[in-house]
A and B are shown apart, each in its own frame.
Chain A
Amino acid sequence: GEDVEQSLFLSVREGDSSVINCTYTDSSSTYLYWYKQEPGAGLQLLTYIFSNMDMKQDQRLTVLLNKKDKHLSLRIADTQTGDSAIYFCADSMDSNYQLIWGAGTKLIIKP
């Protein structure tokens, strides 16, 4: 079946940029999503990108999509302590609209 893969951890210094990467296998993806999960909370939609776009920017967040390599990244500029969370990549399968989820990347901020 289709799969989405992410590294489990990323550690960055406060003020630096964070880049969280995701690879997927589905050839028919239409939308790819980034969700954020803070401790003890549910998942919150951060941003999403349509598959015919290469880049989407929203304040400190930049999403890059390389459809040829099936690679998605989320860049967080000027990382703050409030950005500490688990970030999930999700791919929507156009065939049945279900989401395929990555395991999540835990972003650790060093002072």
Chain B
Amino acid sequence: NAGVTQTPKFQVLKTGQSMTLQCAQDMNHEYMSWYRQDPGMGLRLIHYSVGAGITDQGEVPNGYNVSRSTTEDFPLRLLSAAPSQTSVYFCASSRGLGSNQPQHFGDGTRLSIL
């Protein structure tokens, strides 16, 4: 059982480049989300989705786009990379959106913007 799979694991970009971080889950979870993790800070929610075709903004959405065309996939797009977007990005999924639905995390994508 793969769980939540993120690709790539590492990426270096130049300022202004665009790229897509991939996230796929095989648990038929409705809820998926993207976080960024920065040193000394908690996880910050970028975007989330409560089901196919439905997405919404989190705490720090600027500079990122998402789409949810299928239940399994939830890609995160950086439109024009900036050094402030250097971070570790985590995708998570859960069965539902209730307080008792723990989230399952991927292993993260470590992104550096030069």
Contacts and interface: CB of A to CB of B under 8 A. Distances in A.
A72 to B, nearest CB: 14
A97 B97 contact: yes
A44 B105 contact: yes
Please classify how large the interface on chain B is, using the bins under 10, 10 to 19, 20 to 34, 35 or more: 20 to 34
B100 A45 contact: no
B106 interface: yes
Nearest to A99: B103
Contacts of B4: 42
B69 to A, nearest CB: 23
B53 interface: no
B42 A101 contact: yes
Interface in B18-76: 40-45, 48, 58
B106 A101 contact: no
Contacts of A98: 45, 48, 58
Nearest to B107: A42
Contacts of A30: 99-100
Interface of B: 4, 6, 40-45, 48, 58, 90, 92, 97-108
